[in-house]
Amino acid sequence: MKIRKASERDIKEIARIYVDSWRTTYDGLVPRAFLKQLSYKTSQHKWQSFYDDQVNETFVYVAVDDMEKVVGFAAARCMLHNKREGELYALYLLDQCQGQGVGRSLVKAIADHFIQNDVSSMFVWVMKNNRAGRGFYQSLKGTYTKGRQSEFGGYVVEDEAYKWSDLSLLT
């Protein structure tokens, strides 16, 4: 498995992984009707816009297998709170790649990128009911900081934020 910075030609595969991962990961956490209405075309527009966003210093890394097929991605951006802080905006892997260290490698690539760009901390939002996701970020020593509510297809979910105050711990 290789991790590299995404290029524009990866957007279509990123969009596919995003939709497919939502449908498997969030089944039972958000309404099935919401998951069914997700489309590759809409997702492709979303990720193209994210990729093109210069204001928030967005970037994406992909995991590719031995056949150079994209099997996962991590997307991040720089947020301006009291100081510049990184946000791990998204982390999605195909089912067959989970539990193999690919997610950790993608998070490490994001942390390295932030460090190289003078961003020393990072946070991520995860659904409170997503036990596997929360467990993953906790295993990386992310610290719970706060909660919020999000809405998906008219369904309200509880989210939790996990933070790394020192990104060097992830590299």
Expressed as residue numbers, the domain containing 92 is 2-170
Per DSSP, the three-state class of 148 is strand
Is the pLDDT assigned to residue 81 strictly greater than 70? no
Any idea which of 25-29, 134-138, 141-145 has the lowest mean pLDDT?
A: 25-29
Q: What percent of the chain has pLDDT over 90?
A: 81
Which residues pair with residue 111 across a beta bridge? none
Pairing of strands 59-64, 143-152: unpaired
For residues 58-85, average pLDDT:
91
The pTM score is 0.94
d(CA 70, CA 93): 9
CATH number of the domain enclosing 149: 3.40.630.30
Burial of 17 (0-12, 13-18, 19+ CB in 10 A): buried
| Mean pLDDT estimate for the chain | 93
DSSP string, 56-91: TT-EEEEEE-TT--EEEEEEEEEEESSSEEEEEEEE
Tally of structural domains, the chain: 1
CB distance 51 to 77 below 8 Å: no
Report for 27-36, 55-64, 149-158: range of highest mean pLDDT:
55-64
Given a cut of 80, whether residue 36 has pLDDT beyond it is: yes
